[in-house]
Chain A
């Protein structure tokens, strides 16, 4: 396939059209792109060393030298926010991938493995879901210990049940399809049938869930770091920064305000892109969206006609 036709295929796809059709989604995508660039180029963009402590210049407030002031240890808040974007992005992506990967595996095994396997696995998932996510994450965080990798694994495990449930549901409906039966009749083994015919049909629903869970993962990391059970200090993490600024709320509120705004904007963008992606990929909504579009056009035309 040459470059031109590939580009045409991408720009002509439903996902591309939905993602670029709404102004708010485009803005969110641009902000997320900015986040990725900021995280990648943190050493270049950060005006100061985020870990350099200058006790003589602590809690200085906003100034041309330190745009967002300095924290209680004299570290530049803006530089720490820039470096903190790395933690949020890594935790968001890594924990979602862990949850998606294992969740899909559990869902596939539950859906294809017969009644006993299905019952056992899904009851375990139900049990995990009946413990609130933050409590389970605190637990696992305590077991694994602090640190970036451990927090990713802890949050990832907490999110496995939702992927397992979605995948199992998809597997149960897809495995009744004629093409799967045709595969069996052609002599395809159970594993081959699962991997070639069933698994690909479960991916899109999980992709939507992954996009929507990126925001939750970032929020969970921020919450754990705020509670002092997340990322190890002095590593800059937005949740940990809010916790640091908490003590100086009256004197220098910007230390707590700025990282919180960053968390909110990034989570908001992930949620909105996730919503748009769901609209694009959810087969149930496809018809509704198309109808809505036509109806809006018709209504517009009717208004124009008088």
Chain B
């Protein structure tokens, strides 16, 4: 219920904020040579002549009927555009997320297990650098090395997997790497600090005394107890990744949701922006919901509450 309220506030907030943006979609679309009557016709056609609240509730009513409206700048149904762009974004975000989780959590465990050693310091340095590096700049550096100097990967662009799977993978390697490195660093740091909190607990000593194997202790006794904050960060990150790929999409010229948002903001295409933000906030809400469910799976005490 809380998520629904938050999504409702997001829609209202974005709708009202868009009214403050200078310029309008009709004038942008028609260009400087448009006549008064043309502007009037299109303004009426898209309902921009109505009061703000009427426009808002009309849009909300449309959403309940499964209609998002038509984009003035793209001249397409917004729902079709969003579905298509979301698929592209997810094809970059999901592999990056999986890689970030696997490598980030593994490195975090290794660092915690070897606390104070050279290995721990090395992992911490890599994680810190990964978090501090501007994503767009790292992308450019990868393009420079792997595309411009070594010529083994394409510089930019996107190929749909159904068209050519090999080319699609080659085009995805660099953007996925950029996105994965940043989030991997966050997961690594969180795993390390969470693991350090549980690593010397009494139940770990008991397990050791019972003769439980090191691997079982790490994964069953330590990682499981350290998992709640890690899962929280993961949930928040996945939501942020979907909306936050703007930079990666911009550097690698990927026709995803982020690029759509930038072009829609520049074109003042309010309806696309509003629906885009709505989709992103729904993704964030779903991630939060999954995290809440996972809390119960990880910790029976939360489930029993």
Contacts and interface: CB of A to CB of B under 8 A. Distances in A.
Interface of A: 123-124, 126-128, 130-135, 138-140, 142-143, 145, 215, 219, 222-223, 226-227, 239, 242, 246, 249-250, 253, 256-257, 260, 263-265, 267-268, 271-272, 296
Q: Is the interface of A mostly helix, strand, loop or mixed?
A: helix
A264 B133 contact: yes
Interface stretch (B53-61, B161-169, B201-209, B239-247): B239-247
A239 B137 CA distance: 9
B183 to A, nearest CB: 13
B277 A131 contact: yes
Among A123, A128, A219, find the residue whose CB has the most chain B CB atoms closer than 10 A.
A219
A71 B300 CA distance: 60
B136 interface: yes
B8 to A, nearest CB: 8
Interface string B121-142: 0000000110111111110110
B297 interface: no
14 contacts: A124-B9, A130-B10, A131-B10, A131-B281, A132-B240, A133-B240, A135-B244, A143-B17, A223-B247, A227-B247, A242-B136, A249-B143, A249-B148, A271-B128
A47 to B, nearest CB: 24
Contact of A135 (B136, B138, B246): B246
Given A142-B265, A143-B21, A272 B128 contact: yes
B144 interface: yes
B14 interface: yes
A135 B10 contact: no
B134 A126 contact: no
A276 to B, nearest CB: 12
Given A123-B6, A142-B265, A246 B140 contact: yes
B45 interface: no
Interface string B147-191: 010000000000000000000000000000000000000000000
A215 B280 CA distance: 25
Interface of B: 2, 5-7, 9-10, 13-14, 17, 20-22, 116, 128-129, 131-138, 140-141, 143-144, 148, 239-240, 242-244, 246-247, 250-251, 258, 261-262, 265, 273, 277, 280-281, 284-285
B140 A260 contact: yes
A215 B17 CA distance: 27
Contacts of A223: 134-136, 246-247
A127 B13 contact: yes
A135 B17 contact: no
B184 to A, nearest CB: 16
A126 B6 contact: yes
B128 A135 contact: no
Contacts of A140: 17
B277 A135 contact: yes
Given A227-B246, A227-B247, A138 B5 contact: no
Contacts of A145: 22
